[in-house]
Structure 1
């Protein structure tokens, strides 16, 4: 049995906590958050877990830790976890500071550290990957992310940083997942050109557009706020010489058959697929703690995504 601690008990921390409670190889042991109100949320999920007075107390009580704080705290907290000899699963981005992230990735070489890009364990992505040989030569990838408003309705409690230009915005929080997926499937990301539209003041971006390559595959990204009635809509479309496949709205794998999109037989909406995906992440985190190779997102992959994202946001 592995003891899991969580640093930063917001939405992402709560989601992994619920997955740990349901996992036979993990015990949710401790959590720390500077907001004392998080104690009640922890108690509702795992009454036996301890809400710690300090981050250090949570680290000491755990075998592995999920760092799920706002981005500005990730590197300092992640370093504390690794220096204490614990395994680390960080939220993305590594930080909002590219130079600091580059230094951290160099420093952390050889430590048991990974980044929580859940598509590394997504059954829907596994289905997409299984279809890829049918496409023949892959010609392009297109990524679309759109939102009725930003932050999304369920994120309003974290709007103090998610809505800000310094650490927040949908490109860091959402588009990054699909850029990671492009890099994971087709090769290292490189940005060709990108631009962002920002409102007056210090608010997060309202729109982005970019051209990249993942290995040799051209990738386009389009993102916008206020262009859909949905809380959150996204498409990841792979076009090959023999057809097209796509991931829709996080979890629906589809392929183009006779001009119509056909869902995978086991397709499920994201709310139903998420627990399966996070279970896979915890399986891999247990392997990471044992010193085994895993398919979790590496610090290097996360850094490549961050470098592209920050360059897009700077235009």
Structure 2
């Protein structure tokens, strides 16, 4: 049995999901759409056989599941249209930027035939699986906290510049786009988080998104999650999440690489010689989507988890001293 998938939004994530859905045995793509001629052209460059729908509703017609890779603004409208049609709703993050609107979305999706799920791409990754195993086996010892470090010479990054909205304060910024992934990670391993302090720095132009973000959060036991994120300067992109344990630390680099240290040099915890990390993560996500659509237990992020992340992110962007 295959599931018919519609894809709304053909930016970077939409195209990646399209390529992976076409390769996954549990899915067939029944419709794709994007209002941007540039995004459509890039899609046809790499996948010339894809049939484009004339509008979002035509793309969604007859689908079993709708994947929403559009910007946050229209996401709620499409999600509720799909839910009303009895289709599964698989969304990119964030759910939105207005917390009240997103709470309403989550409440409505809770009443749908299937509860909505969100594409935090690490959820089913090999790295998550290995860290869960290490924690269960006692290899990490007691979890002490999580450190998040992000450095970008510029935002958006070069490969994201087609998505101009990412540079704008209303919907974009790397706190929403990147740090949200790592807050989801922290929540999975430490439980619900509370924001204690946040110090964002913004450019003079009020339309543009944050430059820097320093923040501290804690879980119910007071275990800290610290965030240091900056833009500017000249260095490679840096994205590191260190899960600190009393016996062993684990560190995610570039989302999917996993390293470990027991006090000595960092060593790789996963062997990627026979597998591409990004493809692996998306194929594993789609396997979880298949389980979700069939009503089975899955590892995907729930809409409730995504809402909790959104509320933390939006509070961080306002700042708290």
Per-residue Cα deviation, 1:12-56 (whole angstroms, up to 9, x for no partner): 100000101111111122101112444444444545542111111
303, 313, 318: which is aligned to 1:299? 303
**In the aligned structure 1, how far is the partner of 2:230 from the partner of 2:123?**
25
SS in 2 for 1:3: strand
Question: In the alignment, is the contact (CA less than 8 A) between 1:3 and 1:28 conserved in 2?
Answer: yes
| Runs of at least 4 residues off by over 6 Å | none
Counterpart in the other structure of 2:315: 311
Q: Secondary structure at the match of 2:295?
A: coil
Residues 1-315 of structure 1: matches in 2 within 5 Å? 1-111=2-112, 112=114, 113-132=116-135, 133-159=138-164, 161-201=165-205, 202-216=207-221, 217-227=223-233, 229-230=235-236, 232-267=237-272, 272-315=276-319
> Does the aligned pair in 1 maintain the 2:247–2:262 contact within 8 Å?
no
Q: Measure, in 2, the Cα distance between the counterparts of 1:110 and 1:288.
A: 16
Count of aligned positions: 312
Shift of 1:267: 4.3
- The answer to whether the 8 Å contact 1:6/1:68 transfers is yes
Q: Matched residues in 1 for 2:273 and 2:101: separation?
A: 38
Shift of residue 108, structure 1, vs aligned partner: 1.1
Unpaired runs of at least 5, structure 2: none
Q: CA offset at residue 242 of structure 1?
A: 1.7
Q: CA deviation at 1:130?
A: 2.1
Distance (Å, rounded) in 1 between the aligned partners of 2:12 and 2:284 = 19
Q: Per the alignment, in what secondary structure is the counterpart of residue 110 of structure 2?
A: coil
3-state DSSP class of the match of 1:118? Answer: coil
Matched-pair contact (CA < 8 Å) for 1:183–1:215: no
Alpha-carbon distance change, 272 to 104 in structure 1, aligned in 2, over 3 angstroms: same
Q: Distance in 1 between matches of 2:9 and 2:156?
A: 18
The alignment's C-alpha RMSD in Å is: 1.8
1:105 and 1:90 mapped to 2: Cα distance? 12
- How has the CA–CA distance of structure 1 residues 146 and 303 changed in structure 2, closer, same or farther, with 3 Å as cutoff? same
Distance 1:314 1:13 in 2: 29
How far does residue 252 in structure 1 lie from its aligned partner after superposition?
1.5
TM-score (norm 1): 0.94
TM-score of the superposition, structure 2-length normalised?
Answer: 0.92
- Give 3-state SS (helix, strand or coil) of 2:266's partner: strand
Q: Tell whether the 8 Å contact from 2:118 to 2:301 is kept in structure 1 after alignment.
A: yes
Q: How many angstroms does 1:227 deviate by? A: 4.6
SS of corresponding position for 2:148: strand
Quote the offset at 1:288 in angstroms: 1.7
SS in 1 for 2:307: helix
Q: What is the deviation of 1:235?
A: 1.0
Cα pair distance change 1:312/1:228, threshold 3 Å: farther
Paired with 1:206 and 1:268, the residues of 2 have a C-alpha distance of: 36
The 10-residue stretch of structure 1 (20-29 or 9-18) with the greater mean CA deviation from structure 2: 20-29
TM superposition shift of 1:128: 2.2
Contact 2:88–2:293 under 8 Å retained in 1: yes
Residue segments in structure 1 that go unaligned for 5+ positions in a row: none
- 8 Å CA contact 1:128–1:247 kept in 2: the answer is no
Q: Residues 268-299 of structure 1: CA distance to partner in whole angstroms, max 9, x if unpaired? A: 69x92011111111111122222223211000
Q: 1:205 to 1:268 in 2, by over 3 A?
A: farther
- 1:9 to partner: Cα distance: 1.0
